[in-house]
C-alpha cells in the first residue's frame, strides 16, 4: 500500500476517475430519459457474480439484475399506456415508442463522489449521494416522491472500460412530496382511469432481506454506507456486494 506513481501513471489514474464519474453521470441522465431498459448492457460487467442491492434485498447474478431493469422498463411502459388512455386528446396518433415515458419523471442526480482506484488498477470503488425525486402512477393517479440515498459501487475494468460489478442503491428518504418524511405513506382515493396500476407488482429481489430501512421517527440511527478507502487490490478491501 502507498506506492508512488510516476507522472504518466497519475495521468492514467486521473483519466480512470473521470471515466467512472462520467459513467455515473450518464446513468443519472438515463434515468431522466427513461432508459432503464438498456442500463444493464450499457454499464454492467459481464461477470457471473454481479449483484444489485436495494433496500429490500439482493438481485444476484446477471439474469436477476437484468430482471430488475426489465421490471423498471415494464412499469414505465404500463404507466405510459395508462396515461395515454386517460388523456386521449393529448396523445392521439402517438406510437407506443413515442408514448414511452410520458407523464412520469425521474430526477436522480448524483453528487459528492468519493472514488478510490486500486493500486493495481483493476478495480475501483465509489460512493455517491442521491438527492432527487421521482413520480409513479398509482391507482389514485400520479404521485411525486422525494428520494435521498446513495449509490455505493464496486467497479471492475473489462476490455479497457470500467463497468459496474456490485452496486447498492439504497434509499434513505422515500416519501411522497408534500407529506412528512416520518409519517405514513400518503395515498389518493382510487380512480377508475388508473385502475390498471392496482394489480402491478414490482420485481422482487431473489435474495430478500432488509439492507436498509428508510428514515422514520422510530428507526434507530443508521450510518451511511461505508466510505471507500485507499487499497492495493480488491482482496485488501471490503465489498459493496453480497
Higher pLDDT among residues 163 and 93, named by residue:
163
Contacts of 236 (CB under 8 A, 6+ apart): 1, 118
The three-state secondary structure class of 93 is coil
Q: Do residues 226 and 238 make contact, with C-beta atoms less than 8 angstroms apart?
A: yes
What does the CA dihedral 193, 198, 199, 203 come to, rounded to 10 degrees? 120
Domain parsing of the chain, residue ranges: 7-236
Phi, psi of 152 (to 5 degrees): -120, 120
pLDDT-based confidence at residue 1 (cuts at 50, 70, 90): low
By three-state DSSP, how is residue 78 classified?
A: helix
Task: Record the pTM.
Answer: 0.93
**What integer is the mean pLDDT of 138-164?**
96
- Mean pLDDT for 85-99 is 89
* Contact call for residues 53 and 206 (beta carbons, < 8 A): no
* Topology classification of domain 7-236: Nuclear Transport Factor 2; Chain: A, (3.10.450)
Amino acid at each position: 500500500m502507498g506506492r508512488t506513481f510516476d507522472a504518466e501513471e497519475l495521468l492514467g489514474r486521473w483519466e480512470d476517475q473521470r471515466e467512472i464519474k462520467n459513467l455515473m453521470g450518464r446513468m443519472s441522465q438515463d434515468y431522466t430519459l427513461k432508459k432503464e431498459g438498456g442500463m444493464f448492457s450499457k454499464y454492467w460487467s459481464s461477470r457471473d457474480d454481479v449483484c444489485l442491492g436495494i433496500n429490500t434485498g439482493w438481485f444476484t447474478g446477471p439474469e436477476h439484475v437484468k430482471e430488475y431493469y426489465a421490471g423498471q422498463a415494464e412499469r414505465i411502459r404500463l404507466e405510459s399506456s395508462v396515461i395515454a388512455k386517460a388523456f386521449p386528446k393529448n396523445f392521439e396518433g402517438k406510437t407506443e415508442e413515442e408514448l414511452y415515458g410520458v407523464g412520469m419523471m425521474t430526477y436522480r442526480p448524483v453528487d459528492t463522489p468519493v472514488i478510490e482506484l486500486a493500486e493495481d488498477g483493476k478495480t475501483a470503488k465509489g460512493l455517491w449521494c442521491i438527492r432527487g425525486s421521482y413520480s409513479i402512477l398509482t391507482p389514485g393517479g400520479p404521485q411525486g416522491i422525494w428520494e435521498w440515498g446513495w449509490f455505493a459501487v464496486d467497479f471492475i475494468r473489462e476490455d479497457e472500460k470500467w463497468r459496474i460489478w456490485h452496486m447498492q442503491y439504497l434509499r434513505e428518504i422515500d416519501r411522497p412530496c408534500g407529506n412528512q418524511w416520518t409519517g405514513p405513506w400518503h395515498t389518493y382515493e382510487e380512480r377508475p382511469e388508473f385502475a390498471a396500476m392496482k394489480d402491478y407488482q414490482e420485481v422482487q429481489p431473489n435474495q430478500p432481506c432488509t439492507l436498509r430501512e428508510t428514515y422514520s421517527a422510530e428507526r434507530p440511527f443508521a450510518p451511511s454506507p461505508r466510505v471507500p478507502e485507499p487499497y492495493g487490490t480488491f482482496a485488501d478491501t471490503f465489498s459493496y456486494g453480497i
